[in-house]
Amino acid sequence: MDDYSLKTYWRPLYDQAVSSEDLLISLLSSEFETVFSPTVQERFVRVLFHEEKAGQLKTHSTISKKGRGLLLKQACLEAMETLDQLKELTFAGFTYQAVLSSEQELVYVRPAD
């Protein structure tokens, strides 16, 4: 009972809520993804955000948090329904980078200010 937490308690309900979904795009931070079971997490398509400065890709929580919110806002405004549509999306200087992406990760990069 020592490792029993609120995440453990609620996990079956979170998993059930997405059980019938074919596509799970995660805009969750890594710590919040753990409210889902590892089996559900394996199905996530994660969206990652980087800034490019002097040829180097940088990632930090502020870039990621802002990027997730901006992506969601723009996707809703444009009524996007597919991964292919998300890949075409450009917002706040972020563009999709196919060469950095995979089936389970969509990577967006923008130049640093």
Mean pLDDT, residues 56-71 taken together: 92
pLDDT digits (tens, 9 = 90+) for 90-100: 999 999 999 99
Residue 55, pLDDT score: 87
- Enumerate the domain spans of the chain: 6-111
Query: pLDDT confidence of 88, banded at 50, 70, 90?
Result: very high
How far is residue 101 from each of residues 35, 47, 71, 76, measured CA to CA in Å? 25, 9, 16, 22
Q: Is pLDDT of 41 > 80?
A: yes
Query: Could you tell me the two tokens for 97?
Result: 């980078």
Residue 45, pLDDT score: 97
Type of residue at 84 = D
Query: pLDDT confidence of 2, banded at 50, 70, 90?
Result: low
Mean pLDDT, residues 27-39 taken together: 92
Indicate the average pLDDT of the chain.
Answer: 93
Query: Could you tell me the two tokens for 42?
Result: 């394996």
- Could you report how far apart the first and last alpha carbons of the chain are, in Å? 49
Residue pointed to by tokens 């795009």? 25
Residue 1, pLDDT score: 55
Percentage of the residues of the chain whose pLDDT score is greater than 90: 81
Q: What are phi and psi of 46, to 5 degrees?
A: -90, 150
Residue 5, pLDDT score: 85
